[in-house]
């Protein structure tokens, strides 16, 4: 469920007509619903009720500080994967003890920043990383709390580019070597083992891969405890998928996920950490764009819109589907026709949909790309010197721009021409 609905023939974000935002902000732009974000966070939080737990929002899915603050004020933690995301979370007022630092390539500078600024734990992905963290922590005279990311060799059955738990993926330490690596961790100065981390991929639509991975984690927990390790936390990652279409086939609900977590690891008495991103922010955001031209081609018609692949790269990068709807509600029974929906960037890959059935549209009509709140704005670029598009947050009947559109002058001023050029 989201809060983007038609009222009186116009698509609204909560109580605000999206056409009103377009008139003030211009197109294209991203729009997020506070009510949807909070609803999705509380679905996860409630799903783990009865267990000691922390829901850590995956900042990589949407890193705007207004979003982070909105969730943090409800008690959310944050899962970050870079020094920049850590700085964003802290700037949004998230305390260090609610920030988990993940990622395969943490630098020593990032480690030092987190250790001095406050951190809940590092999810360590390799022995060289653990050695580096030991040296940094020791030089600061502190201990770094860690969970070691285990690769359970479980096929998440998702898109190859977002699958992370198979043996050929770059993430984590093979589960067959886990006991050996935990023994190394216990011997290093400046390292405090607190738990186990696992994350098998993104946009999962079936609970069984999660179940298989978590059962392996449960077995490993008991083995490590028998060998004297203090395993008090289990970071189970994120990855639960969202419906990108309005079909009847929906991914599992957070409640069902929570039941499965309790069944697989609930008996261990560990604090549970989960790191949802897409399920919290994905359907809480849309991208609004305007038709520039309607072009008739050889055997097909094109809707050329002012949004482009640099604004929303998922269709080009992942062949991803986004439902696309007009802001003006079509009349009942209106005959639809197929269009290729494309952007203005000089790339054939700048195509959002092919032969998508839409009501007849004309230049100037507004459209919304649904399910664009995750991996939309955060993956955008200024390719073709196209300014990053604004982000807008709605709460009830009010809205605010939470990232402004830069001018061409702002973009060009960042370039530095050396004196000798």
Q: How far is CA 208 from CA 247, 258, 311, 366, in A?
A: 22, 13, 34, 40
Can 31 be counted among the known catalytic residues? no
* Integer Cα distance of 10 and 213 in angstroms: 45
Q: How far is CA 338 from CA 312, 324, 341, in A?
A: 21, 12, 9
The catalytic residue among 31, 56, 270, 346 is: 346
Please give the torsion angle defined by the CA atoms of residues 117, 121, 123 and 126, in that order, rounded to the nearest 10 degrees. Answer: 80
* Integer Cα distance of 166 and 213 in angstroms: 11
Residues facing residue 204 across a β-bridge: 240
Q: Which two tokens stand for residue 405?
A: 């559109």
Query: Does residue 5 contact residue 11 with C-beta atoms inside 8 Å?
Result: yes
Query: Does residue 325 contact residue 9 with C-beta atoms inside 8 Å?
Result: no
Query: Does residue 376 contact residue 30 with C-beta atoms inside 8 Å?
Result: yes
How many other C-beta atoms are found inside a 10 Å radius of the C-beta of residue 17? 16
Active site residues: 346
């Amino acid at each position: 469920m989201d809060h983007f609905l038609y009222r009186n023939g116009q698509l609204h974000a909560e109580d605000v007509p999206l056409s009103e935002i377009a008139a003030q902000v211009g197109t294209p732009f991203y729009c997020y619903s506070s009510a949807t974000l909070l609803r999705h966070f509380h679905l996860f939080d409630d799903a783990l009720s009865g267990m000691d737990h922390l829901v850590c929002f995956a900042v990589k899915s949407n890193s705007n500080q207004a979003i982070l603050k909105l969730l943090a004020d409800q008690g959310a933690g944050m899962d970050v994967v870079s020094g920049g995301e850590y700085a964003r979370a802290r700037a949004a007022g998230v305390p260090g003890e609610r920030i988990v630092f993940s990622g395969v390539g943490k630098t020593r500078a990032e480690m030092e920043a987190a250790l001095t600024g406050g951190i809940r734990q590092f999810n360590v992905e390799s022995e060289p990383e653990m050695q580096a963290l030991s040296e940094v922590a020791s030089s600061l005279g502190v201990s770094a709390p860690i969970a070691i990311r285990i690769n359970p060799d479980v096929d998440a059955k998702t898109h190859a580019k977002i699958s992370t738990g198979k043996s050929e993926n770059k993430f984590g330490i093979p589960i067959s070597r886990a006991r050996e690596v935990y023994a190394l961790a216990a011997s290093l100065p400046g390292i405090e083992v607190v738990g186990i981390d696992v994350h098998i991929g993104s946009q999962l639509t079936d609970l069984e891969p999660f179940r298989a991975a978590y059962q392996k984690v449960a077995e490993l927990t008991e083995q490590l405890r028998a060998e004297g390790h203090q395993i008090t936390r289990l970071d189970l990652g994120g990855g639960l998928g969202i419906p990108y279409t309005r079909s009847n086939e929906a991914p599992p609900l957070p409640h069902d996920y929570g039941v499965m977590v309790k069944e697989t690891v609930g008996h261990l008495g560990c604090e549970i950490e989960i790191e949802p991103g897409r399920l919290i922010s994905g359907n809480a955001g849309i991208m609004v764009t305007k038709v520039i031209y309607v072009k008739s081609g050889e055997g097909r018609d094109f809707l050329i819109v002012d949004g482009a692949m640099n604004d929303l790269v998922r269709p080009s990068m992942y062949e991803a589907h986004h439902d696309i709807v007009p802001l003006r509600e079509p009349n009942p029974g209106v005959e639809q026709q197929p269009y290729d929906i494309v952007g203005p960037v000089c790339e054939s890959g700048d195509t959002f949909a092919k032969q998508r059935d839409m009501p007849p549209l004309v230049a100037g009509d507004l459209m919304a790309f649904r399910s664009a709140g995750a991996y939309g704005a955060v993956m955008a670029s200024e390719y073709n010197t196209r300014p990053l598009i604004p982000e807008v947050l709605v709460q009830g009947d009010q809205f605010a721009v939470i990232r402004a559109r830069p001018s061409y002058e702002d973009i060009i001023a960042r370039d530095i021409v050396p004196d000798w050029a």
